[in-house]
Structure formats: C-alpha cells, structure tokens
Amino acid sequence: MATQTTSRKQNPTQARIQGRSIAVVGATGLVGRTILDRLEARKFPVKKLLAVASKNSVGKTITFCGEPIKVISMEDAIAQKPEIALFAAGGKTSKDFAHKFAEVGTLVIDNSSNFRMDPNVPLVVPEINLEDIQPEHFIVANPNCSTIQLVMALKPLHDRFIVRRAIVSTYQSVSGTGQAALDQLNGERAGREVAKVYPHSIDMNCLPHCDVFLENDFTREEMKLHHETKKILGDQSISISATAVRVPAIGGHSESVYLELDRDFSIPDVREALKMFPGIIVQDKPGENLYPMPISAHGKDDVFVGRIRRDLTETQGLHLWIVSDNLHKGAATNALQIAEYLNKAGRFSKS
C-alpha cells in the first residue's frame, strides 16, 4: 500500500507533493464522500484532487485533508488529465464518460455495474485477482458490494476445498441504495411523510426486492452475485443462486451463505483457511455472543465471517454468515486498494 512519509501535523499540500492527481467522480454522493474519507484515512499520496460531480453541484465546496476543494464539471476534469479517476456516480455517468477519461490516459476505477461483465475489462477484488489488470487496461471495474464480501470468503475455501454450489441470502442496508434511501428510512422512523425510493416502507420491514426484477424472476442484484462471482474467481462451473433482501439497517450488508464443497473438510480447517486470508476476520464464538453484525462492521475495511457450521443433512454442506461495510470494502476501500496496488507497482511512474 502506498503511504506518505510525512506526519499528519505537516501542511497537507506539502505532504502530497510527490503524490498522484486523482479525480473523484461523484464526490458529493455517499460512495464519493466515503472515497474521500478513505483517501485521507489510508494516507494515499494525493498531489492534486479533482472533486467532480453533476452540473447541479459544480461550484460547491467539499473538504479534503482540511482544505476546501471546489467541485468541477466532468469536462473540466477530463481536460486536466488526472492519473486516476475513481468513479462513484452511477452507470449512465460511467457509460458516458469513463472512456473519455481513458482516452486521455487516465486510469478509471469504476464502481458502477456498467463494465463489470465486459470481457475486456477486469473485475477486481485486490486480495483475489489483481493479476487480471494488464498495462493495456485503462478501465478497471469494482464489483458489486454484495459480491465483494461473498468472494472474499469463498476464495480461500474454493482454493482449498473447491466450492461447487452456493446459495446466498443477503440482508442489505439502505445505504446501498444511496442518500435518498437513508432519508426515507430516517423519515419513516421519525413519523414524517417522505419521498419513497422503495415501493414500500422500509422501516420495520424487509423487502425481498433489490434492484429490478428480470424475466427469470430474479432481481438484477441477485444476478450480479451469480455472474460476478464466477468472473472474479475465474470458474464458470460454480453454481450460484441468490435472494437479495433490503433491511432497515443504515449501513453494512449481511449474507447467509450455504456452500457445498467438493473435498472433505473439517470446521477447524475452514476456520484456518478463512483466518489466513488477508482482509478476513473470523468472529465465530456464538456461545459468547460473538458473531459478525453490521453495527460492529460499520466504518471498517475488513470482511467478517462467523456462524461457521456443517449442514445437518448434507455432509459436504457448510454454512457461513458474512458481514461487511458496503461503503468501505464493498465500494470505496476496494477501489482504493486497486489504486494503491497500481501505484506501488509503478503504473504511474512515468507520469
């Protein structure tokens, strides 16, 4: 991971002289603001920050490392040819502008679903498949938040035991939908009339409805888990089905996961495989009430796994409970880890 050699007490501008020029596209949104927070917290070497947002936000001011930064337009940002563009502004924005950044030599790391299944664009979780990024790639896709935490737990198990089947039920917080969804939840909780992002109330409710329903009666979110997992793990033979549910939690996604493994396993071996994998924290002492929860994963960059147990009827069946902060590892942190790796690997050394 790239780090600064200066202390936080020094002038932020001086500390970033040797850094990179970075555009954060969608800087005023939930994911964009989290990217800015993680850039500062992880001390990524930023020489110049371009805060980019829609025309409605141009001219507004955000704060980064204690300094005011004016929001600029997409066209202004492209003209400045930043070395890295971290996109957090939705699929249409990525479709319209990602290639324009790439054409001026900017490396785009995109949080939308626009490029994820493009065979010419790597879909990357840094702990798993950084090698998929080649010098010719100027667009790298960040996976879906629910997919990231799932594959983080599946990868060490697939390497050791071979996952042949996965059935996933997600419990996804409203922050995964954006600020308007948080406003709906908080408004309903306070008894106010609010604009509804969801087709039903979300407070004191669960909606088995994440994204839109497709012709096969699965939602787009459920199919993202199906397709993206196979691409990231590089194995099209894994059978994956999902049910995605929106729950009235403010932040943090949870997943109940049932796996069928090809090789014999013991629960201690499963715990060991997970504990050894970078970015995974095992919390599995149910007798002491220790298990992953969204409230304890909030603000953290790791993926938490617990409730590890063998199935009662299938000898090769395994159950897991997986939790992660969807705005951190599920979005901003994963994208930033990609940038950190490429910076350390010298991707921008000739800039």
Q: What is the pLDDT of residues 215-254, one digit of tens each?
A: 999 999 999 999 999 999 999 999 999 999 999 999 999 9
Inter-residue contact 151 to 235 (CB < 8 Å): no
Instruction: Write down the pTM of the prediction.
Output: 0.93
pLDDT tens-place string over residues 277-293: 999 999 999 999 999 99
Q: What is the mean pLDDT of residues 172-176?
A: 97
pLDDT at residue 350 in the model: 57
Q: What is the mean pLDDT of residues 128-134?
A: 97
Q: For the chain, list the domains and their CATH numbers.
A: 12-143+331-344 (3.40.50.720), 146-325 (3.30.360.10)
Asked whether residue 151 carries a pLDDT value surpassing 50, the answer given is yes
pLDDT tens-place string over residues 57-115: 999 999 999 999 999 999 999 999 999 999 999 999 999 999 999 999 999 999 999 99
Inter-residue contact 260 to 328 (CB < 8 Å): no
Q: What is the mean pLDDT of residues 144-172?
A: 98
227 labelled catalytic:
no
The answer for 279, left when phi > 0, alpha when psi is -120 to 50, beta otherwise, is left
Residues 305 and 67: their CA atoms lie apart, in Å, by 38
Among residues 137, 145, 158, 210, the one annotated as catalytic is 145
Confidence band of 163 (pLDDT split at 50, 70, 90): very high
253 labelled catalytic:
yes
Confidence band of 13 (pLDDT split at 50, 70, 90): very low
pLDDT at residue 8 in the model: 37
Residues 201 and 193: their CA atoms lie apart, in Å, by 11
pLDDT tens-place string over residues 299-343: 999 999 999 999 999 999 999 999 999 999 999 999 999 999 999
Among residues 137, 158, 210, 253, the one annotated as catalytic is 253
Q: Which residue has the higher pLDDT, 4 or 237?
A: 237
| Helix residue spans in 193-351 (DSSP H) | 220-233, 267-276, 294-297, 333-344
pLDDT tens-place string over residues 17-64: 469 999 999 999 999 999 999 999 999 999 999 999 999 999 999 999
pLDDT at residue 349 in the model: 72
Q: Environment class of residue 7 by beta-carbon count within 10 Å: exposed (0-12), middle (13-18) or buried (19+)?
A: exposed
3-class DSSP assignment, residue 201: coil
